[in-house]
Amino acid sequence: MERSDHATEGDPLKRGEDGTETVTGAASASGPKKRSCKGLGFSRLTHWRTAVFFLSLFLCLIIVFAFSFIMPCPVRAQYLVTWKKTFSESGLFFLFFFLFILHLRNILNRGLTVTLTFSHTVTYEFLAFEHSNDDKVKDVLFIIKNTNGTLNQTCTEAGLPSPCVFVVAVDGTDGDTLWERPLHPEFQWAHCDQGKKTSRTWHCLMSHSGNLTAINKNTGHVIWQQPQPTVLVGSLPVLSVPDLDQDQVDDVVLVASNSTLTQLILLSGKTGAQMGSTVVLDSVQTANHLIHVTVKGFYYILLQNDTDVYGLELLGIAAKAGLKTDKVMEAKANSAVTLLPIYQSNAVSLVRTKEADDSSDLLVVSGNEVALINGKTLRLKWKFSCSSVIGKPSLGHFNKDGVLDVVVEDDVGNQTKRIIILDGKSGGVLWEVRLLAIANSPGPASIYTTKSISVFIVWGLMPSESNSTKPLSISQRSYLLHPHHSEVLLEITNVTDHILSFKATLMEHGRHAAYLLLTGPESEDTNGTVVLTKQKLKQNISKDDVRHLGTSTETNEEIVEAFQRLRFSD
């Protein structure tokens, strides 16, 4: 066969870059060997890369599994189905419920009831809700007056007169005592921050025997104790305010009043010592007070008496008291304290629409009127007239406009009350019902849901369920209201005992709605048994609990299913 002297298309390696023939026959013979060596090196490199990849993956898996077994998983608390705590009759005069409760995850998941029983007690009340330890379960903090504590600690051993005051923290999971702190009697009042974040290391302030004592809720340690700077006594007279003395710790204002004057006392949040002099407002008697923050960030103390609601600028009060920090002097060149009128009414109570927001709207409640004040402008938004307002209004979302609506109870006579839900935007009536009014009945409550509405809880007795042969005080019942099914109520509680306090809340962040019920003796001078019950809100509801207010096309099963599908949110 003839051999061509020209490179062919099938033999491209015989050409150089310029297309000329540069490779001889011998060179052509050696060409394939060089190409084979390059391919072998690349193949070996690929194998090494694959080996390194799988080795790294193997090492990562080993580390992950090793840490999975070495590092212990978080231990979840073991909750008791029911726990009770009883105090002996000797020397026990009163019991103040301070902080409650309870995430209680496992109990709530199984829909069980927690009952706390106290024997021979007299006075009781919920004041706040807090965590006392690190198990993510809210605990019970209360005050007793006795000769002995729950940990066998006596007043005598603590160097105090007997009986003395004990501040006790009880574990919400099983009722065991976490800590207790004996204090000198007598007890006047107590205030806690109720979950608000502050720079202080204490959480509760107690007034007892002329002393002010700041206590840490987690350990029970006394952070500081100071003599009470005033003899005037108010009802929960403590206001938490920003740092005024520039020590990086939020401070406190005491508001004390009698029939002729009101005193404002600034206290250091760090030491409890009085800052400056006492500011006295002559001819002003204060019934309620709140701290309020304007749009521009100015802090005002709102004071309410029997005719007006007015405000005082906090920095003006500090300047009047004689504080000479840069913050005070720059903001207030003179020491004049000016009363700023906000709303004129024969007010009975002053309610903030959002507890955690010091700039939220305000409800001014009088005997026959409810008025909403704009928190940004401190101007009247709307007002609603009633026959006779019962207690304090509650708030919730009846519609989906994102504005809190107002629940008011109005006494219309003949042992009947009208429960009204008012539109938060306009003050118009969104829903109402008439129930038989029971003596000492709790006020309304609500819990927010993931559907941007709230489920409401109201107390009373349906006229169709009353028995004319028995007094109305025999039975008190609570009902659930679903805004999307407003023609029916769902009965959840039937109580024959005397109700001392009631609270509906979320037990955990964004889940587990429940209500807390405290029952006990009717008179403060009567010893008896106090029972504290926690129960899941949707527990044990059935079609037999549906109460129709009018004509409804939905069956009882559909109503119960709608309530069961509710999911709750903060």
* pLDDT of the residue at 417: 94
**Angle (nearest 5°) at CA 358 between 288 and 448:** 100
Separation CA 520–CA 526 (nearest Å):
10
What confidence tens digit (pLDDT) does each residue in 275-305 have? 999 998 876 678 888 899 988 888 999 988 8
pTM of the model: 0.75
Which DSSP symbol is given to 75? P
CB 407 within 8 A of CB 456: yes
Residue 91, pLDDT > 80, answer: no
* pLDDT of the residue at 523: 67
CB 380 within 8 A of CB 436: no
Q: Could you give the 3-state DSSP secondary structure of residue 342?
A: strand
What confidence tens digit (pLDDT) does each residue in 424-440 have? 999 999 999 999 988 88
CB 404 within 8 A of CB 429: no
- At 97, the pLDDT band (50, 70, 90 cuts) reads very low
Separation CA 426–CA 383 (nearest Å):
9
* pLDDT of the residue at 425: 95
CB 301 within 8 A of CB 312: yes
CB 531 within 8 A of CB 518: yes
- At 489, the pLDDT band (50, 70, 90 cuts) reads very high
* pLDDT of the residue at 43: 67
Largest CA distance in the chain: 132
Number of CB atoms found within 10 A of residue 540's CB:
10
* pLDDT of the residue at 531: 72
Residue 306, pLDDT > 90, answer: no
Most confident of 89-103, 338-352, 409-423: 409-423
**Residues composing the chain:** 570
Q: Compare 340 and 137 and report the one with higher pLDDT.
A: 340
Q: Compare 411 and 514 and report the one with higher pLDDT.
A: 411
Q: What is the mean pLDDT of residues 104-125?
A: 39
- At 178, the pLDDT band (50, 70, 90 cuts) reads confident
